[in-house]
A and B are shown apart, each in its own frame.
Chain A
Amino acid sequence: MAAILAKDLLKSAVALAVASLLLGLIFFQMGAPYAGVFEISVVAGLITVLFMLTIALTKQGDDVRESKVVKIAFPVFFVAFILIDILVMKGILARIPAIAATPESGTFGEVLWKERSFDLIGQLAVILAGVLAVLALFRKRDHHD
């Protein structure tokens, strides 16, 4: 919540890091240590650094005026949404057919490498695409200058 409402962008980025830290702790509590480690190290660490770098590079454009109605209307909308959410969620969940819970066998590594190996190829492709996109964007800017 503070990530959105904070006026200072740096505070928003720090609030986002704290939120992902808490989410990582919830992941640990659920018994998902790999996802928790990834969440804390990558999202709370790397992405926060990237955000801070961007905020530092774009410091001059910091003075974007948000409309004041947004902050005033936010608690009303949020409380209304939470109430509707609590009322509706149980009804929705009751309609979902119960899937038989079958306990998994094996370890996390086996599931990741054997069942989801196609995802890993996709991940590699996305990382390569991201690197190429960043390189292309910055090279174009140098050329432009």
Chain B
Amino acid sequence: MINSWVIYLIFAAAMFFLGLYCLLTMRNLIKLFIGIEIIGKGVSLVILSTGWARQSIYLAQSLVVTYIVIEVSLVATALAVIINLYRTNQSLDIRKLTRLKG
């Protein structure tokens, strides 16, 4: 069980790295948001695999369910913000958002 826990943790760290790389390098707003989603998936994998290894799967499950519900709310709000930004700027490029500075 411990060995597969280590494998899950390595996998989750790889997902975290993927999301972070996407956040640092991409320029498209929707892709940045996909990066945030991937980071969130990695974190929920860590929570659930740790609960699984420590035999407290129910608590981990309830935390993950809470996170998923919050994630949906976050996605809906963020995509509404992205659509509004697109209608204002006619582009999804984050470099064009520098006009926002005062």
Do A116 and B59 have beta carbons less than 8 Å apart? yes
Once A66-B28, A81-B17 are accepted as A-B contacts, the answer to whether A122 and B80 lie under 8 Å apart by CB is no
CB distance from B80 to the nearest CB of A (A): 4
Give the distance in Å from the alpha carbon of A126 to the alpha carbon of B87 in the complex: 26
A1-18 contact mask (Cβ, 8 Å, vs B): 1 or 0: 101100001001100100
Chain A binding site: helix, strand, loop or mixed by DSSP? helix
Docked pose: A138 CA to B57 CA in angstroms: 40
On chain A, the residues within 8 Å of B92 by CB distance are 58, 61-62, 64
A4 touches B65 (CB 8 A): no
Q: How far is the CB of B89 from chain A (nearest CB, A)?
A: 8
Q: How far is the CB of A124 from chain B (nearest CB, A)?
A: 9
A4 and B73 in contact, given A54-B82, A66-B26 (Cβ under 8 angstroms): no
| A34 interface neighbour in B8, B54, B65, Cβ under 8 Å | B65
Q: How far is the CB of A94 from chain B (nearest CB, A)?
A: 11
Q: With A47-B75, A130-B77, A133-B77 as given contacts, are A38 and B68 in contact (CB-CB < 8 Å)? A: yes
Over the window 66-79 of chain A, the binary record of Cβ atoms lying under 8 Å from chain B Cβ atoms (1 yes, 0 no) is: 11001000100110
- Bound together, the chains give a CA A20 to CA B37 distance in angstroms of 10
Query: Which parts of B15-51 form the interface with A (CB within 8 Å)?
Result: 17-18, 21-22, 25-28, 30-31, 34-35, 37-38, 41, 44-45, 48-49, 51
Q: Which 10 A-B pairs have the closest CB atoms?
A: A130-B73, A111-B58, A61-B92, A112-B62, A64-B28, A35-B64, A58-B86, A70-B25, A30-B52, A137-B80
Task: Identify 10 new A-B residue pairs, CB closer than 8 A, beyond the known A27-B48, A30-B52.
Answer: A4-B38, A9-B28, A32-B64, A43-B71, A50-B79, A54-B82, A57-B83, A104-B57, A107-B58, A111-B58
Binding site for A on B (CB under 8 A): 6, 8-10, 13-14, 17-18, 21-22, 25-28, 30-31, 34-35, 37-38, 41, 44-45, 48-49, 51-66, 68-77, 79-84, 86-87, 89-93
